[in-house]
Amino acid sequence: MYCDIVAGRAEASLAFQDDVAIVIMDGNPVNPGHALVIPRVHATGLEDLDEQVGAHMWRVAQRVARGLRRSGLRCEGINLFLGDGEAALQEVFHAHIHVFPRFEGDNVVIDADCEPRDRRLLNQEAWVLREAMKPFAPVPSSVMLPQHSQTA
């Protein structure tokens, strides 16, 4: 479906495009202004998505969010959503990021029954994840994180 839109074989309301990604309006929006950031190259999900393309998609999503706030459309907040796999509510199996405006009383519900987790279990899960990530090259970063001062 999205491959057809990217190729120009299917109709879409295009809000932005560059060599890497397009932004279209969602045909079944959560709220008016709901946009989708879609890579031009097909990737079923995050596992298949080139990291550089993924990083570009998030930059575009941030710009879409800024645009929504300045657009005049009702927008008191923004949600970004990426479903990766059927269990994560992915319905179209071409990686994409939803960017949609939120406002008081919009009736959008994001519900989870979260429970506090024991620190020992969190530490164990962090170790398992760290080990699983070791085969991947470290993520290069040209962004310097702010230093937090420790005050008593």
**pLDDT tens profile 25-41:** 999 999 999 999 999 99
Spans of all domains in the chain: 2-106
Over range 109-128, report the average pLDDT: 92
If you average pLDDT over every residue of the chain, what do you get?
A: 91
Band (113; pLDDT cuts 50, 70, 90): confident
Written as one letter, the residue type at 82 is: L
By CB atoms closer than 10 A (0-12, 13-18, 19+), residue 80 is: middle
What per-residue confidence (pLDDT) applies to 152? 45
| Domain 2-106 CATH class label | alpha beta
Higher pLDDT residue, 5 or 138?
A: 5
Q: Say what the pTM is.
A: 0.85
Buried b (16+ CB within 10 A) or exposed e, 97-123: bbbbbbeeeeeeeeeeeeeeeeeeeee
